[in-house]
């Protein structure tokens, strides 16, 4: 008698992307959009942000440093935030 066993394992990879859009407004008042950002890598902003709107299906961690370093702020999926003095410069999803 022969028995076959098939095992499938789904592991998250860095190639997965958040679905949706992530909007941020820079200190100059100009809005920017990141569409379906990848989970994992650090994404630097082209200027510090004063507010964000995370309309993706994944939480995002904001950082004051350009290379995802410094003080952090977590923004859950489908949530927006604005700040008085906090100025994020980069974001990581997932």
> Do 92 and 60 contact (CB within 8 A), yes or no?
yes
Per-residue pLDDT for 8 more than 60? no
Under the banding of pLDDT at 50, 70 and 90, the label for residue 16 is confident
pLDDT in tens, 23-40: 999 999 999 999 999 999
> Do 74 and 50 contact (CB within 8 A), yes or no?
no
- pLDDT value at position 22? 98
Number of C-beta neighbours around residue 24 at 10 A: 25
- pLDDT value at position 15? 55
What CA dihedral angle connects 85, 83, 25 and 70, to 10 degrees?
Answer: 60
- What is the residue whose two structure tokens read 């510090």? 48
- pLDDT value at position 7? 35
pLDDT in tens, 46-55: 999 999 999 9
The CA-to-CA distance between both ends of the chain, in Å, stands at 45
């Amino acid at each position: 008698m022969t028995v076959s066993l098939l095992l499938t394992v789904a592991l998250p990879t860095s190639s997965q992307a958040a679905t949706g859009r992530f909007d941020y407004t820079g200190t100059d008042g100009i809005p920017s959009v990141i569409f379906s950002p990848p989970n994992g890598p650090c994404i630097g902003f082209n200027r510090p942000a004063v507010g964000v709107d995370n309309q993706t299906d994944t939480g995002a961690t904001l950082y004051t440093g350009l290379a995802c370093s410094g003080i952090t702020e977590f923004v859950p999926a489908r949530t927006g935030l604005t700040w008085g003095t906090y100025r994020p410069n980069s974001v990581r999803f997932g």
